[in-house]
Amino acid sequence: MGQGEFDLIRRIAARVSPRQETRLGIGDDCALVQIPQGHELAITVDTMVEDIHFLKGTDPGHLGHKLLAVNLSDLAAMGAEPLWCTLALTLPELDPLWIEAFLEGFLSLAKSHHIELIGGDTTQGPRAMTVQALGKVPTGQALRRSHAKVGDLIYVSGQIGGAGLGLKIRQSLTTLSDKAAIDALECPTPRTALGQDLRGIAHACIDISDGLLADLGHILSASKVGASIDIEAIPQLASVRSYCTLTGDIGFPLMSGDDYELCFTVPSDKRSQVDSLLRQHRLQGGVIGVIVKSPGLDVQQGGKALQLKGKGYEHFKSGT
Ligand code: ADP
Ligand code: MG
């Protein structure tokens, strides 16, 4: 992208908050880092493409925030502490106002979660951006999807379905309106501190990106167990409850994605410890069910079994 690209990279580099483990940040062919002793590196990458993951015209500050937030959420789900990230930007043009707002959203979240931007790539093309994030976790202590045990309580860290409703509102598919739902969609808060505090407490953990049903499903299949959950126990915004009542779509909070809350399982004797952790982090999460031996997910509503269609949002569904 020529001179503009190098100006942009210089501007980005000037605003980064460095970490002491970084030997060399933005500016050379590679970044160099020192992996802290006694730790494993947790590595994740996520891409957001215009018209697939976000609507054209979305506030660039929210995009910058969300792009980093979804990666921080993956680190949180493993119990990892964020350290570094890289940013690959593909942009149709170098629009200074758009870029300024995007960087502000991205770098202010980076600062508050102490993650340093150490490199990236800038190319011209249809708008898409990718972040790779790296975090540290004490050796052997990462939270995995595969370690849920029969009898574990299943928790979510906060309200579910808000982002899905936010998308319906943005797409004018409902007459309801709720700023909290829009915020859940556009400015999700990664549960970074909670994820780290769950090390040594949670047996299994995942972040909810594709929908509770799909993501809890990943824990169940990886752990070779089943679950019984009560839909009425799922924490939800009042607006989400109204949406479900108005449309009759009771399963909505199970199917809708993008909330970036954690879903985790803990042995029942850890309940009071986890409840006080949630209070300490000012989170509105709670127990939504229990891990059982027989495979599959049994969804109850006030003691009655529910039949649900679909499994949340999947890319590359058959035939596409
Ligand atoms: P190269 O051609 O050697 O890959 P680039 O010209 O692409 O180098 O990048 C120069 C430096 O700027 C590198 O350190 C790279 O990591 C960094 N960089 C490029 N684009 C970005 C970006 N969007 N965000 C952060 N750093 C970037
Ligand atoms: Mg390059």
Note the pLDDT of residue 112. 96
- What distance lies between CA 294 and its chain's CA centroid? 29
Q: Specify the ligand 1 atom closest to the Cα of 27.
A: 14
- Per CATH, 3-138 and 153-305 having the same topology is answered no
Label the pairing between strands 296-301 and 226-230.
Answer: parallel
The CA radius of gyration of the chain, in Å to the nearest whole number, is 20
More confident residue, 45 or 55: 45
Amino acid at 204: A
pLDDT in tens, 108-153: 999 999 999 999 999 999 999 999 999 999 999 999 999 999 999 9
Q: How far is the CA of 241 from the CAs of 162, 173, 247, 252, 283, in angstroms?
A: 10, 16, 10, 9, 19
pLDDT in tens, 47-100: 999 999 888 889 999 999 999 999 999 999 999 999 999 999 999 998 989 999
pLDDT in tens, 230-285: 999 999 999 999 999 999 998 999 998 999 999 999 999 999 999 999 999 999 99
Lowest mean pLDDT among 12-21, 40-49, 263-272: 12-21
Mean pLDDT within 35-45 = 96
Q: Which ligand is nearest to the CA of 91?
A: 1
* Structure-block tokens of residue 273: 């410890």
Note the pLDDT of residue 310. 52
CA of 120 to the centre of ligand 2 (A): 7
Note the pLDDT of residue 180. 97
Task: Please work out whether the CB of residue 189 comes within 6 Å of at least one atom of ligand 1.
Answer: no
User: H or E stretch including 33?
Assistant: strand 32-33
Task: Please work out whether the CB of residue 118 comes within 6 Å of at least one atom of ligand 1.
Answer: no
Instruction: Decide if pLDDT at 199 tops 90.
Output: yes
Task: Please work out whether the CB of residue 269 comes within 6 Å of at least one atom of ligand 1.
Answer: no
Determine contact, residues 18/132, Cβ cutoff 8 Å: no
Pocket test for ligand 1, best of 6, 16, 17, 122 (most atoms within 8 A of CB): 122
Determine contact, residues 71/113, Cβ cutoff 8 Å: no
CA of 149 to the centre of ligand 1 (A): 45
For helices 238-247 and 179-186, angle between their N-to-C axes, nearest 10 degrees = 100
Instruction: Decide if pLDDT at 309 tops 80.
Output: no
Note the pLDDT of residue 17. 86
- How many C-beta atoms lie closer than 10 Å to residue 181's C-beta? 26
Phi, psi of 97 (to 5 degrees): -70, -45
CATH top-level class of 3-138:
alpha beta
CA of 95 to the centre of ligand 1 (A): 18
CA of 132 to the centre of ligand 1 (A): 14
Q: How far is the CA of 287 from the CAs of 104, 154, 177, 232, in angstroms?
A: 36, 6, 28, 11
Query: Domain segments of the chain: what residues?
Result: 3-138, 153-305
Amino acid at 24: L
Q: Specify the ligand 1 atom closest to the Cα of 88.
A: 23
Burial class (CB in 10 A: 0-12, 13-18, 19+), 145: buried
**Of 164, 156, 143, 160, whose CA–CA distance to 80 is shortest?**
143
At 6, the pLDDT band (50, 70, 90 cuts) reads: confident
What is the chain's mean pLDDT, rounded? Answer: 93
Note the pLDDT of residue 316. 52
CA of 28 to the centre of ligand 1 (A): 8
CATH code at 153-305: 3.90.650.10
Q: Which ligand is nearest to the CA of 30?
A: 1
For helices 96-112 and 60-77, angle between their N-to-C axes, nearest 10 degrees = 30
Tell me the pTM.
0.93
Q: What percent of the chain has pLDDT over 90?
A: 84
Q: Which ligand is nearest to the CA of 121?
A: 1
Rounded CA separation 179/182 (Å): 5
CA of 122 to the centre of ligand 2 (A): 7
Task: Please work out whether the CB of residue 121 comes within 6 Å of at least one atom of ligand 1.
Answer: yes
Task: Please work out whether the CB of residue 119 comes within 6 Å of at least one atom of ligand 1.
Answer: yes
